[in-house]
Structure 1
Amino acid sequence: MTRTLNVAAIQTSYGMDLQANIKKTEGFIRQAAANGAQVILPPELFQGPYFCVTQEERWFAEAHPWREHPVVKAIAPLAGELRVVIPISIFEREGPHYFNSVVMADADGSLLGVYRKSHIPDGPGYQEKYYFRPGDTGFKVWDTRFGRLGVGICWDQWYPEAARAMALMGAEALFYPTAIGSEPHDPTLNTTLPWQRAMQGHAVANVIPVIGANRIGFEPWENYPNGGQQFYGSSFIADHRGDLVSELGRDDEGLVAASFDLDFLQGHRAAWGFFRDRRSDLYSALASPRPT
């Protein structure tokens, strides 16, 4: 019997009210499940606004241990109710440490584990190093009810090494929850297409579907250039060729969705020979802090 993977990703805006954000996300999850989605990806840190635009210690109070996080406690049972898989993005606290994390909820509502964002950006509008430690889990893939899935988080998506590592671990699809938009130092700078192209390249190089979920809307911040951060949406699903098979615009609210034949992709991946012809004996520079 053919193994088919039906995926969807959510694109919407979020505000300051945690419970309202959870309820909004639940509505889209229910809609996607009703449309046949088996794996449903919400955006990054959907528990609230993207607070990393500035450095304010008050936001540390919004982090929780991953098993006890209010978002996980609300969304994981929903995964079990609807029999869907949901990668749940959260602000995690472990003792004195803080992480940008994803908890993978399987289709029976069980928690398969946590992935902590490996690459942490630090620049205007994206001051994440103030809030998050670099992840200590390594890259993760999970055997879910519907397939072996890999998840990176936002800045991870720019790194081909992360995508390749997850593919080498047997991932059959890659998911990237995201929060990205305008650049405060240059509000005219539009990184939408490079953002998409980087992940489309991962799809081609690994012969694997890639799903990216971004938020939309304007989030106001006091004393921030132009009064706040504008997120550019453009959530998408790329197939194994890197073609965009489902895409939303910069301001659209809704879902992207697609279906993939995992058995076909397994054979097609082998036929391309990308993994057969790898020369890991020549790649030592990739593991060196100063390649020569």
Structure 2
Amino acid sequence: MENRERSIKNIIEDKLTGDQLKEFNRIYYGREDHCTLKLNDEAIRKSEEDGIQLAGYSFKAANEDTRPPRVVKLGLVQHSIVLTTDNPVHSQRNAIFYKVKNLIEIAASEGVNILCLQETWAMPFFLCTGEKEAWSEFAESATNGLSVLFLAELAKKHGMVIISPILEDDNGTWWNTAVVINEEGRILGKHRKNHLPSVGSFSETAYYSPGDLGHAVFDTKYGRIAVNICYGRHHALNWLMFGLNGAEVVFNPSATVAEFGESFWGIEARNAAVANGYFTCSINRVGTEEFTIKTEPGKSISRNFYGSSYVTAPNGCRTPSLSRVTDGILVAEVNLNLCRQVKDQWGFNMTSRLNEYAEELNQVLLQK
């Protein structure tokens, strides 16, 4: 196995066994055992046949006298593009649709209730090219765009809530948007990416504006969910507002390459889960995407995405990551009662002193 393919889990399990491995897991993952889910044979067969990594883990909560367990299955999907980026737009998109439909069918066979795809899942992540017009055909409506309609059918078929991150075209204005589709195939609403990077070749402000929809939390059949798109994970207040608005699960669909923060990929969403008392789901695309710059003949750009999708519980326990290089589905069976149990235990909300911070933030802003 090449170094680029090896995960922390692979490396450690090659070196440690027995009590040593349990102790590592306790310190690094927050629990000695990964609480692996038993997956059904047909899903395993199908995923192996298609070269898809399928993994499942559970998070328990204490039994309560006044509330029944609120057990929900979350699904995270990471994948590469299918065709090279010089193919026609409709060919690239249809090939991804075919792949993603297969991934969702496998997730559905595992009983997934809420599923999230990666950032701008139905297209290559072309923002590194510095070109806009050449890629405009990938932009779509958040109400009747091709990928939204495609997923609405699958959501209804499987009784599944699906989060669809897209490049939104709203009457000629572009946004980086996540559309939330409920289990009946209806659009519940959308969230637009609040924080945009201007780092190296990723200058997203050249393509679209920072989000204008605040920090919406969507009340679904299965729980209260929110979406913190990619770069927003670097902003603690972004995570905070989703929690204050009542989120129980916050998804972080991303398209991130190694040179832009792989060393803290496993930290930020985990910290947010602990600080805010909710589950976090980190999804990152995989594969290499190569682009020829149309305005500069002979110039090309290559980007390698590192996958590593994972889930963290509000008590800080987390799953192992999916592969750094392979398409994958991570299924997490969670009990949402754990959110309040952890809040009651740690008292972070009670001791947050938000009024004091609000006053001091206002003073800082007035001085600028």
TM-score normalised over the length of structure 2 = 0.74
1:74-153 alignment, distance < 5 Å:
74-153=150-229
Conserved in 2, the CA contact under 8 Å of 1:237 and 1:257?
Answer: no
Which one of 164, 167, 189 corresponds to residue 243 of structure 2? 167
1:240 matched to 2:289: no
Which one of 65, 68, 77 corresponds to residue 10 of structure 1? 77
Q: Which residue of 1 aligns with 2:98?
A: 23
Which one of 259, 266, 273 corresponds to residue 340 of structure 2? 266
| Secondary structure of 1:243 counterpart | coil
Q: Which residue type is aligned with residue 128 of structure 2?
A: V
1:177 matched to 2:246: no
| Secondary structure of 2:292 counterpart | coil
1:34 matched to 2:101: no
* Higher RCO by CA contacts (8 Å cutoff, separation 6 or greater): 2
Which one of 287, 291, 304 corresponds to residue 230 of structure 1? 304
Q: Which residue of 2 aligns with 1:209?
A: 279
| Secondary structure of 1:247 counterpart | coil
Conserved in 1, the CA contact under 8 Å of 2:129 and 2:301?
Answer: no
| Secondary structure of 2:165 counterpart | strand
Q: Which residue of 1 aligns with 2:264?
A: 194
CA distance 1:2–1:102, shift in 2 (3 Å): same
Identity between Structure 1 and Structure 2 (%): 29
Within 1, Cα distance between the matches of 2:320 and 2:183? 24
Conserved in 1, the CA contact under 8 Å of 2:287 and 2:326?
Answer: no
| Secondary structure of 2:319 counterpart | strand
Q: Which residue type is aligned with residue 269 of structure 2?
A: M
Q: Which residue type is aligned with residue 258 of structure 1?
A: A
Within 1, Cα distance between the matches of 2:157 and 2:151? 10
1:275 matched to 2:275: no
Q: Which residue of 2 aligns with 1:253?
A: 327
Within 1, Cα distance between the matches of 2:273 and 2:188? 25
- Deviation at residue 115 of structure 1 after TM alignment: 0.7
Q: Which residue of 2 aligns with 1:71?
A: 147
Per-residue deviation, residues 162-192 of structure 1 (Å, max 9, x unmatched): 1110111110011011100144xxxxxx722
Conserved in 2, the CA contact under 8 Å of 1:117 and 1:153?
Answer: yes
Within 2, Cα distance between the matches of 1:104 and 1:31? 20
Within 2, Cα distance between the matches of 1:262 and 1:291? 42
Conserved in 2, the CA contact under 8 Å of 1:216 and 1:231?
Answer: yes
Aligned residues: 286
Conserved in 1, the CA contact under 8 Å of 2:277 and 2:314?
Answer: yes
User: Which runs of no fewer than 5 residues in structure 2 stay unpaired?
Assistant: 1-67, 86-91
Conserved in 1, the CA contact under 8 Å of 2:292 and 2:300?
Answer: no
User: Which runs of no fewer than 5 residues in structure 1 stay unpaired?
Assistant: 184-189
Per-residue deviation, residues 202-236 of structure 1 (Å, max 9, x unmatched): 01111221101111111012369984000011111
Per-residue deviation, residues 90-128 of structure 1 (Å, max 9, x unmatched): 110112311000000011111001111110111223121
Within 2, Cα distance between the matches of 1:42 and 1:221? 23
Conserved in 1, the CA contact under 8 Å of 2:291 and 2:300?
Answer: no
1:157 matched to 2:233: yes
Conserved in 2, the CA contact under 8 Å of 1:176 and 1:211?
Answer: yes
Within 2, Cα distance between the matches of 1:160 and 1:13? 29
| Secondary structure of 1:88 counterpart | strand
